[in-house]
Structures are given as structure tokens and as C-alpha cells.
Structure 1
Amino acid sequence: MNLSLRTALILALLLGTLLPASINGYFSLNRQLDKAEADLHAAHARIADVLALGMQEPLWNLSPEAGRPLLQSFMSDERVVRISVNDATLGNFLSANRPDRVTGHLYKLSRIVSKQGNNIGTVTVELDDGYVVAQIHANQRFYIIAVALQVAISMGLILFLLESRLLRPVHKLTRQSLKLAQQDLTEGFEWQRNDELGTLGRNLEHTRLSLRQLIQALEQKNLQLEADLLSRRQIESALRASEDRYRRLVENTQVIPWDAHPEAWSFTYVGPQAEDLLGYPLASWYQENFLVNVLHPDDRHLLYPVFSEFTQTRHSQVECRFIGHDGRVVWVWLAASATVNADGSKHLQGYLVDISARRHTAQELENYRNHLEEAIEQRTRAMATVQHESDALSWSISHDLRTPLRTIDGFSQVLQEDYGEKLDINARNYLSRIRTAVLNMSMLIEDLIALTRISRSEVRRQEVDVSALAQDVIEELEALEPERKVSVRVRPGLTAWADPRLLRVVLHNLLHNAWKFTATRDHADIEFGMNPTGGQPVFYVRDNGVGFDMSQAGKLFTPFHRLHGPGEAAGNGIGLAIAQRAIHRHDGRIWARSKANEGTTLFFTVPDLRREPGAREFALLP
């Protein structure tokens, strides 16, 4: 249906105003009818109930005149058509009838009149709804007239506003835009309004100005294009000169360009440097089967995929050998790119580079590598021999030296126990010194064996609760010296991917050192924790013990080297060396920070090789 904008708007307005009013009037009329009917039934019941109550005495006393005033009062209601009062034995007692009031539906209702439990009569009331319905219809006509008047006024105002604010401006806008469509850009869009149509008009004015500027720019571009066409010949001439320079540049390098037909295995172009590569004249390179003849027989299979397994996107690089004119072998790096011409024919192009010198160097490097592998194998055998000798020495120390030491200690003990009273003070002192020296020697042997075992033991990593291990070591130290009061803080929840046996050795030595060197403190304090540094967890054991001078830190992990005198603390100076060996078995680091009389902090790392397989630990110092 093709409707103008004016007609469509009028129809829309009519529907928009009349339809809601009609629907509202329909539902309003139904509500009024329902309410009137409900009110009529309520009034009907009320009148019958009042009459039944009011007729008790007249019926009981058989006095119709006593009930007539009540009857007449209800008959004054325009809705009441007939009232009849009947005596239970005599029949008709009182009645009133207005048949002229019947204009609609007639409703009849009866009530029994009783007194002292006896039914003495009945009351019947008939009502007509014509009067009520007539009032509703009168209201309906008034509503329709009011709605029609309202619609007429609204339509007039709306049509006036549409004509002045929309239809005439749209007509003007249509006329101006038609000129714009016909490329008539002389007339401007003059719009001073601040509504949407004014915005549209101003936008069209901007469009007109942009189109005019664009046309002017296109005219200038056309002029520029004509100038460019004039200089095109000069550019093409310069391009040809550039191609000549490029060709000379390529042909004067050691890289030899080439083109070939893959089906025929023949070159269609080869750079002039090819003559110096193999010693053949350049014309020979264009002969059929030239490539097959000069290619080394053992390398022909390398070029079959390049020339035979042809795909448009194939890029190949091959190192192969050519046979020169004088019979020498020339190593060549051949690069090829496959393309398909417009006519569907296949084409290959690429480069040739003489790599004989590089291959000679690579061969020398290969020979050197073989020699280096032999040297490494010899060094490995030598190290194995040294390891075997070290194991033999450890076995000798642990077995051959223990026996005489036990003998010396046993006889010294016998002398001390059996002949101690016969010896003078100096002799007993000498025996005591001998036994002390034997005990120290045994302890040194045990520490040396422990150090050797740590270096050779297999590392079996698993998830370890480091905090629990540290707490176990602290409990052991407290059990050995229950009389000491030491403040110990162990940070909970610390874990590591490590060998639990070796890690316990580390914690035992570090915490034992802290326990030992805080013995002279009135308020000893030991802390075990962790700080992340450089993306790796760095564990530490901190104490407020005697400390040491950092100038001696280089000797801290040297076996059997003590930074403190024998009277300051017991031990052989092997504990930190064992801890260092255990940490190194985990590819970690261990270091210390200390000040004399201000305590010591020992740091160590245990890298998690699950995240970085094969990684070595290079933790930053805190």
C-alpha cells in the first residue's frame, strides 16, 4: 500500500487516538453495567429484607393500614414495579403495582415473614433495571461526544504542528536533496532550526560543501594525473636503467642467479659468474642434461625433490657437489623457489653459491671435534681412575686407620683404669691427652667419610616440607640441651623439590651451627625462613651468635677449617663443607652474611628442576 507521508500520519493519529478511547469506553461501560447490576441486586435484597421485617406487626395484628405507609415509601423508588404482601392463611394482605415502570429486565425476590417462630406471611418485591440502564446509556452518549470533541481538537492541533514542523520542512528538504542528487551544488541548505530536521539540513549542507571540495580535488587530481602521464616515460626509462644496474650488480657478486624449466632439467638463464664456478663456457649451461652431467652421482637424489616434486609454494635449499671441467669437486649451496606462470607452465628460479671453503672449514672442525671427543674420553677415564683411587683411600681411611686407633684407645683405657693409681700426675695427663687425640682423630675420619658419601650419593628429589624438617632438627637440639632457653622461629608452609635425606643434613648442620654459636648469648635467637629472590626461593638460617669477620668468608666452607678457636665452640669445621656439598648436589648455592658479635645469616637455594629442566641456580645475593 503506497501512502503519502501526510496520509500515513493522519491514519496513524486517528488510530492512535480513537482506538484507545474506544477500548477505554468499552471496558468502562461494562464496568458500569456490572456495578449497576450489583447495586440493583443489593437494593432489591435490602428492600425485601426491610419489608419482611416491617410487616411482622401488621400481619400479626391483621392491620393492613399499619403496613401501608412502609409499602408506599418503597413504591416511591422508580425501580420498584410491584410489591405484594400475603398472609399465610388469608392470602393477599397488601399490594401495590406500577406496570408503567417496566422498561427493561424485571427481577423478582420473595422473603418469608415470621414472628415468634411462626411463618405468618410472605413479601414479594419486583424491580426493573430500565431506569439504571437508561442513565448509563445517557452517560455513554456524553462520553462519546466528549471523546469526539477531544479527538477533533487534538487532530487539528497535531495536523497543524505536523504541517508546520514536519511536512513542509520535509518537502523543502526533499526538493533540495533532489538537486544534490542531480549534482546541482549551487544552492545551499539554509536551516536555522535546532531540531532533528535542522541537524539533517546542516549535515546535508556539510555534505554539499564536501562534495564540491571533492569534485574540485578530483579536477586537480586529473590535472596531476596528466602531468604524471607525461613523466611516465621518464620513469620507465629510469627503471630500465635501474634494472641494468641491478643486473650488473648481481652478476658481479659471488651469488649466481638462475632460472630453469623443472620438466626438462635445463637452465633458461644463468649468471655469467657460472663460467668461473665450474670452468664450462656459459653456453654449455643452457644445454639439455647439463645439470645431470655436472651433478655428483652421490648427490643426484638431493635435487630430485627440487625439480620433480613441484608445488607452487615450494622453497628449497640444498647443499650438493658439482664436478668441474677439470674434474675438481665444487660444493654448491642451491636455493630454489617454485612459481606458476600465467599460462600454467611451471618455473624455477634461485641462486647458486660456492661453499667449498666453508665445507673445507666444516670438515676441519669435524676432525677437531673428533679429536676433542677422544681427549674428553681420555680425561673421563683419568677422572674415573682418580675417583677409584679416592674411593680406595676412603676405604683405607675408614677401615685401615680405625683398627689401630681403636687399639690405641683400648690400651690407653686399660692403662688408665688398671694402672692409673700407679702412675704419677704427668703420666695420667699424657694418657688423657692420648685418648682425646684418638677421639678427635676418629671424629675426623667419620666426618671425612660423611663428606665423601655426600659427594657420591644419588639425589632422589621429591616434594619436601622444609619447615617440618627444620622443626624436627630444632626439637632434637632442644632435647640434647633442655636447660638452654633459645627463641626459635620456623616459618611454616615452606616446601622444596629436593632429596629429603640430603636436605635434612643441610638443615642439621646449619641449625646446629646457629645453636652452637649462640650458646654465650643470654637471649639466644634463631630464625629459619625464606625470601624469594630473582624468581627463586632463597632459604636462610639467621642467629644472633658470635658471628665472624666477612674477610674470612672465603674459607667458611673449606673442610676442617675453623674460623673460631677450639675453646669458643666444639667441632672439626666439616659441617658447613658437608652442607655445601649437599646443596651443590641439588645444583644450588650456599653463602653467608655476618658481622663479628652481631650474628650470622646463612643462605641457600634449592632450584626446582621441574619448572626449568637442567637449569642451574644463579641466585642473587640478598
Structure 2
Amino acid sequence: MKLSLRSAAVLAILFGLLLPACLGGYLSIKRESQRIEADLANDQRRAADILALGMQEPLWNLSPDAGKPLLDSLMSDRRIVRVIVTDASLGTFLSLNRPERRQGHLHTVSRQVNKQGNVIGTVTVEMDDGQNTAYIQSLYRQYFTTVASQTAISLLLTLLLLYSRVLRPLEMLLDQSGRLSRNELDTPFSWPRDDELGTLGQNLEKTRNAIKEYQGMLEQKSLQLETDLLSRRQVEAALRAGQERYRCLVEDTPFIPWEAAPSEWRFTYVGPQSEALLGYPPSVWYSDNFLPSYLHPDDRHLAYQLFSNIQCSQTQFECRLLARDGREVWVLLSSRAQISEHEQSRLHGFMIDITERKQHELELEKYRARLEEVVDSRTRDLAVANHELESFSYSVSHDLRTPLRAIEGYSQVLQDDYSNQLDSNGRHYLQRIRSATSSMLELIDDILNLYKLSRAELRRQSVNLSTMAQDLAEELNALQQERQVEVEIAPDLYANADPKQIRIVLYNLLDNAWKFTLYAQPSKVRFGSTEVNGQLVYFVSDNGIGFDMKDSNKLFSPFQRLHSAAEFQDSGNGIGLAIVQRIINRHDGHVWAKSALNEGATFYFTLPVPKKTD
């Protein structure tokens, strides 16, 4: 980098004065910035840890309102922009967002929320560093103001000292040398000083005289030479530009340009890409009757259309060309007719390789035909399966039920008429036969009910779930009058559902709650609703024996029981919750459960809410 004497002197002084101050100030501000960033990170991690700890109970109980005070408390910190609490099963649980607080970069920290060894959710805290950035920027502004003031004072003193002794004489010398460089040779240079600068000025005057003498001799020759060179450079530049444009147009595009003489039925020009297209050099393309010879036999009539029908200003068609290696290459050939000044017709246009597109079209057609065959085959298989299922249902309901009814009837006769002829073991075995027969008949009925639910037509209407649950609770209480069960039913809960099928859902859930609170004192059953992510969720909860969540995958599988018959006399055959899931799924809903051993269970389900009418 070239510097003037004035600039070099000023920079040297300023560099020596300002370097220590700049370095010290920068290091101080850098340490302060690092400290503030560390404090911000610590505060953000601390906030995330507090939020993860505080969200355990709200997430576990699905109670967003219980977690809102903690979020409001965290958001009192103006640096926090957004807080998100996510449930592991339901998605976003709670969130608060203050986008207007964002002034700089966002820093995100996430923590998992654990409860009883399970990950039940995630909390995320986003904190803005805008206040810290503004503070650091204020420090920089103070620092730059101080440095600028020091620079201005140092510069003023330096200029005052240099101007009188060095800079002013140099300005005169620079002015005269500048006139010399601008070829202002008519005015003599004057320099009254006798020091070194004066000697330099006198040498400039001698140089001016010498240049003026040689300038006259070189002016004519130089002018002529510059004119010739300029013209040549312009011609060469135009030629290179034209060649480059032509090369890009012809070689760097997928379009193959061509030109042909219709009267001779041959190409007079093809682009260099033609050799890669078919494997033939351009000389073969220029041969007579190239198109009629190398067109596919089924497309050769198109050559006559191209070369004979030149009255059409523009022609475009697809055809197949035969490559050297035997391939069939599909091309889109576009042509335009043109009449020259000498009344001679010419054809020109482009060829585009569309082989890949044609292959895709053929494959798509094959796939379409195959798909239609598969759909027809699957439809036939489905019809056969439905028929077999109906046959099985008939067999179960008639062929299996009849012998079981006979066994049950004869067992009843034995018990009523011949029990006094049997010893205690015989009567016990007879009772077990009747019990097993009854269980088998109930199992057959459950299988048929599960099958019928899948085929029954849904008749949706607005259903008062609260009234239905109250009726079912009264029925269960009447069947077990010896038990005292506290039932709490939320009022005015409605859903858009099939009343018969949704009654089955409520009966199974309430019956389970009634059944598994046998040993709870007092026994409590609750039916109500909550809201999760803006969606209404119904639930049936109890304070019974509960279950281990690791077995939750068995809950809704047919014939799966989490509690044995030894624990509960009427624990069922494991079909009830499978029926519940089947009905809820048919209503486009979702059912799930949360529980812990000896801490009760809660079954949640969603249903369409009936539309409000004006």
C-alpha cells in the first residue's frame, strides 16, 4: 500500500499513541462480554431446570392451569421470549410467547420432565441476548468516542507541526509534479528554496523541458499506433463474444440445432450434440436420405411430412431414430420453413432427446394397468374374506352354540335331579362343567359382538353423556347394593356419536372402574372432561388397584387381562376394552389410559363435539 509522506507521518504517530489504548479497551470489553454471556447461559439453564421440576405434576395430571402460574413467573424475566411445555403423548401442553421482546439472537435450552422413571414431557426456554448486546454496544460506543477524540487531538497537533516545515513545501512540489504528470508543460516550474526540496524542484524543471522536446516526436507515432491497436482489440473482442455466444447456444443446451435443404431431402447442418445422440458423426447426418434411412420404419412417413409440406410455417412431431448400437431414441423434432431472397426454401429447427420421458410414460402405463389388476384382485379377496367371516359368524352363532346349550341343559338336569346321587367331588365337577360352559357361551357372544361392531352402521346424533353415565351408574349400584361407591359425574357433557355404541363404551369403562375399586375404601368413580391442546377430552377415573404402565400395550388387545380371576371374581374375558377402542376408532376418536399400581386409573377418550346451533 502506497502512502503519502503526510499520511505516513500521521499514521505512525497515531499508531504509536492509539495501539495500546485500543488493545486494552478491546480486551476489557471482550472479557465483559464473555462474563455477560456466561451469566445469561447460567440464568437460562436455571430457568429450564426450575420449569422441568415445576411441570411434573401439571403434566402428570394433564392440568394446564396448574402450570400457568410458573410460566407467568418465568416470563417476568424480560430476557425470556418463549417458553414451551410439551407432553410426550399429546404434543404441546403449554406455551407462552413474547415476540416483541426479541432484540438480538435467541438461545434455546430444553430439559426432559421425568415422573416415576418415565419421560412425560419436555420443557424449552428461549432467551434473548438483546439487552446484553445493547450494553456491549454502548461500551463500544464510549470506547470509540474516546478513541476518536484522542485521534482528532493527535492529528491536529501533528498537522500543525508538519505543515509549516514539510507539508507546505511538499504541496508546492506535488502541485508542480502533478502538472508535469498531466502534461501541462507550457508553464515553467519555479522554486526559490536552496535546500533539498529546492534542488528537487529544479530537477523537475529540467525534466519538463526534456519531456516537452521528446513529446513532439512521439506524439504522431503514438497516436497512429494507439488507433490501430484500439481498432484491432474491438474487432477481436466482438469476434470472441460472438464465438462464445454461439458455442453456449449450440453446445451447452439439450436442444440440437439443425438446418436442411427440402429440395435435397438432407441436413446441411446439425449441432455437435448429434454425435452423442445416435453415435453417428456429423458426416453421416449430412448424407442423402438420412432421415428416411435412420427413422424407425413406423415413423418414416414423417420424413415426407417434414420435407414436402414446407408451406406450413412451423411443424412439430415426435419420432424414433435408430442409433448405432441398435437403441430406439425418441426425439421431439421442431422445424420452421424460411424463404431466402433468391426464392430458395430452407428448413431449420431443433431436436430434443425425449427418450427418458417416453420410457417413463410407458412404465407409468404398465404400472397403471398393474395397479388396476391388483385393485381388482384385492377387491375379490376382500369379498371372499367377508363371505368367510360371515360364514364363521354363522357357524359360531349356530353350530358352536347348540352343543354348548345341550351340555348346559343336561348339566342342569343332572344338578336338579341327580345331585343327591353324587358325592361332593361329583357335584363340584358338575358345577365346574356348568361354569365353563357358561364362560364359553359368554366368550362366543363377545366375539360376535366385536364382529357386529365392525359392521354396524353408525347413526350419529347429539348424545348427553352425563345423563347416560348417570343411568349406568344407577344400574351398577342396583346390581351391587352391598357396596358403597362415591360417583361424581360432570353435568352437561355432550358428544356427536351413536347412542347405542357410546353406551357400550361408558358401560365398559364404568364397569371396570366399579370392579377394580372393590378393595378401595372409600371407592370413588368419576366421569368428567378436560381440555388438551384446545380439544375436549372425556375421562373415567377411579381410585382402585390401577396397573403398571409397562403393561399398557396389552390394555386394548382382545382377551388380554392385566388382573387374574383370583384377584377379582368377575374380571371378565378381556374383550371389553377392545370393544371400547373399536367403537372410539370408528367415531374418529382416540382412547388411552394413565395409571400406576395402587394409585387408580384414568381412561381418556375423544369424540366429535356436536355443532352449536343458533
TM-score range (shorter-chain normalised) is 0.3 to 0.5
TM-score, reference length from structure 2 = 0.47
Higher radius of gyration, 1 or 2: 1
